[in-house]
Amino acid sequence: MCGEAFISKLLDRKWMLLKPDTNIHQIMVSGMQIQQGQPLGNVWFSNNTSPSLGDSMMEKNNPQPSFYVVRDDLLHPLVNGNKARKLDGLLPLVEDHSVTDMTFSRLHVEVAKAIRQQWVERGLRSHLLFKGEQPEIPTGYNLISILYGSTIYVPRSLYAKREKMLAKHADLVAGGSSSVVWLRDILEASLTTQISGKPNCERLDGHRYAESLKKVVIVNEGAGDAVGLLGVIRLVQYLSQKHVFGKEQAFKIVVDAGTGTTAIGLGLGAICLGLPWKVYAVEVAENIDGYRRQEEELVSDFQRCCGFPIVDQVLNRANGRFVHWLERSRPRKFGNVLTGEMEMCQQIAQQTGVLVDPIYTLASLGISNTT
């Protein structure tokens, strides 16, 4: 089975998003060249976005440098960005396996908020474990997440052993007569069903379940599961269409990495489809070795769940490496954004209409000149 046929079969499933389409902005750069970690100086940005991309927006003879911004931040008012992509294949999967409760831990409050909002919207229950001490006055995404379901604050010493912590809490939620399952096991079961053609489990109506019928699923921190790769691979397939980026032109895709799931999904999708794209991920929450371990574990889970020979071929071609992991040019400073970084964000927003986060997204600026 060739890569495209494998991806088509893999993505033949239910999705949270009705379609994978996203807005894409082309940003033209004029003036001085951007150097990583340096001020913008006389650089000027302009938004050259048109309703369609395709060959007309990718003229090879255009000497003016540019880059593209995938506007997944516009997908949903509350569930957007890579969070929506991680949940795209995850939520329909757990619904179809009669899951009634979800327990997970929080790495990023945005991920926690996104999962809880979509889960509760479906009439089901979520149980969130926060690391550290409960704030006296919760605010922002933290507050929104708390409003959607039960929340427990876990001492940092216990939180360090995440899998053990999650499994113990899931057992408490389930009680003696209910079942607990890991998300990766549900994915494996679904793909086995997909290959065999046997009918899937009947869906349990979330509004009418009984306590004795609880089925609790455990989701890894930040939705960093092989299931989370599916929606990202679906995005890659969309981007590779002729009317978007196509399959011929080489691209460097730059993302910030929390758990690394999004970057790994982009890299895996690109190599399965035979695309000449390279994925660069700027570290946020881990060191480079930690991200490489995560890459190995996620790809191994994906390989085990899929069971397709093409996955082995893809792994051999890539030598087990799908992402170029990069250190940040400067440490992140939560609550202490430098004046120069704020000015840069203001300049980009005022000249293009694109909001850039000074802590995360801004770290990627200038990567294309250094890779």
Q: How many CA atoms lie within 13 A of 261 on its CB side?
A: 26
pTM: 0.82
Q: Residue-wise over 135-170: b if at least 16 C-beta within 10 A, else e?
A: eeebeebbebbbebbebeebeeeebeebeebbeebb
In DSSP terms, which residues pair with 68 in a beta bridge?
A: 26
Residues of the chain with pLDDT under 50: 1, 37, 195-211, 334-336, 368-371
Rounded Cα distance between 193 and 84, Å, is 25
| pLDDT at site 298 | 86
* Domain ranges, ordered by start, for the chain: 3-77+227-369, 81-222
| pLDDT at site 201 | 40
Structure tokens at 96: 């179809």
| pLDDT at site 315 | 64
Task: Indicate if 81-222 has the same CATH topology as 3-77+227-369.
Answer: yes
| Chain position carrying tokens 């109506």 | 205
81-222 is a CATH 3.40.50.1100 domain: yes
CATH says 3-77+227-369 is which class? alpha beta
